[in-house]
Structure 1
Amino acid sequence: MLLPDYIAAHLDKPFEYGRLDCVLFVANWIKHKTGIDYLDGLPHWASERRALRIVKDMGGLEVAMDGRFERIHPNLAQDGHIALRRGGLMLFSGPHIVGPGLEQLEFVDRMEAECAWCF
Structure 2
Amino acid sequence: MSSDDGRNRPPARILVVEDEIFIAMEIERALTTDGFEVLGPVGSIEDALELLHRDQPDAAVLDVTLRDGKVTPVAVLLRSQGVPFVLASAEGRELTETGFFQGVTNLGKPTNMRLMIGEIQRLLS
On whether the aligned pair clears a TM of 0.5, the verdict is: no
* TM-score, length basis structure 1: 0.32
Could you say which structure has the larger radius of gyration? 2
Higher strand share: 1
Using CA pairs below 8 Å that are at least 6 residues apart, which structure has the higher relative contact order? 1
